[in-house]
Structure formats: structure tokens, C-alpha cells
Structure 1
Amino acid sequence: MKLSRIAAFSSSLLLAAALALTGANPAQAHEDPAALDYAALGDSYSSGVGAGAYDGASGSCKRSERAFPRLWAARNSPSSFVFAACSGARTGDVTADQLTALGPATDLVSLTVGGNDAGFADVMTTCVLKSESACLDRIDRARSYVDRTLPGRLDSVYAAIRAKAPSARVVVLGYPRFYKLRGTCVAGLGERERSAINAAADHLNTATAKRAADHGYTFAEVVTAFTGHEICSGAAWLHSVNPLGIGESYHPTAAGQSRGYLPVFTTHA
């Protein structure tokens, strides 16, 4: 009896030491998904624009049955699931329109936001339709916005989420790089423009990760998952530009949602 108690006590000490060394918090350990109340917030990368199979009832929000939040919920059968992400959403839209999805019982929140605030749709439209110099200038203005204005707006969203769902695990997902440099594309944007666009995506991800960490949230980067599957890779999980409209351009395909975003979110959920 004494030996078993000593063994149990020793195991407890070892577990505590491991948690201390890794910075893990027992209260934040992954729970049984079936016991979770899950809410998916954010923009088109969460709603699933580009993946098709849109829920007609979602209207212009274009929530897809193939979006990673829907796929995760289908696989894990959480206690409840609210899909509030909406195409075109900015930080202010999340706080104004999506936080009703949250409550004191919410256990898990996923979020992608910031790209629309930084004007990435306009960046891509400018780069596709105008000159290289106009493209690079528009990218510089987006980067300046990310440096000067976006952090405060992210702070507002993150604080509002915590106020509505004080016990929730919040996973903030980033954005992929759009282009494989020196890839298979023989037309379209030049390498200088593609490189600047990728660097701007990295810049946005870095800023978002910093703000998420400062609020105690998990930042889940997807650049690694999409490496080898960018536009010009020959096996892209992102839609290339559509000259008839930006629409689904530069958004994940169904494969990008299921093989890019879903595994990353699953790892951190």
C-alpha cells in the first residue's frame, strides 16, 4: 500500500514538473470534443469562401459545408456548434455581429480576422489590374496599417471575446502565403509582386500572433501546412485570380480547408 501511494505521489510530482517545464496549464488541457460548446467566428477564411457548397440560408456570409469549422464539428460532434463566421468580416463586424454566438458556457472559439481590415482584397485587385509600382505601393500602405492601426483593433476583438466567453480556449488562425516563388505560373504577376504579397501575409501573421499571445490565446499558423500548395505550385490549395472578379480568388479551395486549415485547427482545438 505504501509503495503504491509513493508511486502515485511520484507520478503526480513528475506530471507537475512536466507541466511547469512546458508551460502547460491543466485547466487548458484538451477536453473531450463531445463535451465542448464551440463557436466559429471570423471572415471568409473561416466561413469557407472558395470551398463551394454554401449554405443558402447564410446569404452573403457564404458559409460552406466544407469550411474547416463545419468539418471539425462534423467529425467531433461537440455539445453545441455556432457557425457565425462571415465573408468580408472585419474586426468591427466580429464585435458587432458575431459575439452573440458566445456565452459563459462557450469552451472553444476559432477565429480568422484582420485581412479585410488591412485591405488585402484591394491589395490583390490593385496588383492584378494595375502596374507593379501601384501594387507595391498598395502593399506598403497595407503593411503600415498592420503596424499602426490593426493591433488596437485586434485588441478590441480579443478583449470582447474574453468578456463574453471568459473560460473559452481561443484559437486564432493565420493566413497562408499566396504564391510559390519561381513556380509553375508563366503569366500574371511578376516575381517581385508575388514576393511582396507573401511578405505582407507574413507581416500580418506576425502582428496577429503577437496580439493573440498577449491575450493568452493560441495562434495557429497555416503557412507550413500550405507550403507546396500555394498558387503556382502545381498542386494549389488556393484559388488563383479570377479576372471577372476577386470573389473566390486567393481563398482556400475545399482541399485547402480540409487538408490545410482543418488539421491545424484540430491540433490546437
Structure 2
Amino acid sequence: MLQVVLPALFIAWLARARPTGRSLWLVQALGVGAYLAFGLAVGNAAWTSVYLSGALLIGYVAALVVSFRRTPALWWPIRPGKGLGPIVFIGTHLLLALLFVPLCVLAFRGYAAPENPVPLVFPLRNGVYHVGQGGNHPLINYHNVSTTQRYALDVTRLNALGLRAAGLYPERLDRYAIFGDTLYSPCSGVVDTARTDLPDLTPPDRDREHPPGNHVVLNCDGVTVYLAHLMQGSVRVATGDSVAAGTPMGRVGNSGNTTEPHLHLHAERNGAGVPVTFGGRFLVRNSLVWSR
């Protein structure tokens, strides 16, 4: 609701509004825009469709144009009108702006790539992939509070409807678009550890005793790369194996401490998380990767 319904209602309110001057129009535009921007940055678009997120943005721009064209070309003095309605109108949008503009600033700060990222090859192919957790701020990446997983990524795949799954939260694993996708090595290196015997769980079941589930850990030029939550029996590399970037290593599953099928990836150097890039891109929440 917070991600779709409320933004749509605010956009409709903006489109139908008849401010008595452009100062009031600006207050409303800023309040609605800040709320929408926060929702688009922090909300996981793959739950409600990335297409719907785009539609909300287009709707906001259209509402701006419509409301501005019928607003009197008067910036000052501010004349809110008579009665309680105008006061509620101004107060609501001022509150939205005061609350969500600072939150937007914090969220968008997490889009900035830290210095000296490690370049990797994107480990999934033949699909459109969506970053559910990623970036350099806890508002867009809950891993960011962890020393080792500070720049970790959780990746899902999108279906034709722009959703991560067929249904809101299905129990069948094959209804998640990413389940069973082949995992390719993101770098050239040596397999440090690998595991493949843990079961794939039915959402929302978790295995808290084995957080990474089936996994592969690589040592690549002094950087340790973790790839977790793989499918039972799918891992085809073993400890000590040398792998080149692009080598098939397993399949994405739903093992370990996870709520649904996805690929978890993070990199460490000397026990501290390090940022990674793919083709020069620092991926954040709601980033899309078109991979062949």
C-alpha cells in the first residue's frame, strides 16, 4: 500500500488540485514528489512490478503539467483560501516534504559508488535481473550495517510482468523466476569452500543454522567472493578447483537463511566488505541488469 496505493492517491490529488497560486502548487508538487521518490528508491519494485513504478513516475509528471497549467500565475502573496480544507492541504504537503526530502537525500547518497571497487563479471545470464538489496546505505541495503557484508547484493530475476515471482509470495519454488538459473563465476580464482547438500526450503521457511545454505566461496586476487543460497545438488565445483570468470558453478536455489529464491553475493578483503561493480556499474536497490 505504501509503495503503490498511497503514491497513486497523492498523484490523483495533485492532478485534481486547484491551488490559488504557484507557491501552493510548488508545495504540493514537492510534497508528492518527495514521497514518490522515497517510495521508488526504497521500495522493492519487483514485488509490485517495475512497470508499475514507471507508470507512477509518468503519472506524476503528467499530474504536474495538468495542475500547473490551471494554477494562476501568481507566486505572492500566498492565499490558501477559506476554511479548514486549505489548511489541511498545505499542512499535509509541508509535512510530506519535511519528512521525505531528508530521507530521499539519505537514500540517494547510497547510490554513490565507494572508492576502489572490485570489478566482477555479472554471474547470471539470459534474463533481466533485479537488485532487491544493494547500495551504500541501510535504507536501500539492510546488509550495509554489517562489517563483512556492507556492499552485499541480493538478486532476483524478473518475469514478463516485471515481477520476481508468479504471485505475491508463492510456496512453489518454480514460480520464482530466478529459481534454477545457472550461476557463473564472477571472477577467475580458486574455490575456497563449496557446499551442495542442504535442502531447498519452501517459503517462508528458513535454515538459520546454515545461513549461506549451499554456496561457493572464491578467492580472486586477494578478494574473497561469496555466492549463497544455491540449489541442492547443483554445485559442480569443489574446494581447491581453479575457475575462470564465466565458468558454470551451480544453480540458484532457496537453501539457507533466506525467505525466497535469490542469489546473495558479497566480497570481502581481510574480513571487511568491499564494493563491487559489474561492467563499471555499482548496483543499488532496483537496479536492473539485462544479461545475455
For the aligned pair, the TM-score class normalised by the smaller chain equals under 0.3
Larger Rg: 2
Structure number with higher strand proportion = 2
Structure number with higher helix proportion = 1
TM-score w.r.t. structure 1 length?
0.23
TM-score w.r.t. structure 2 length?
0.22
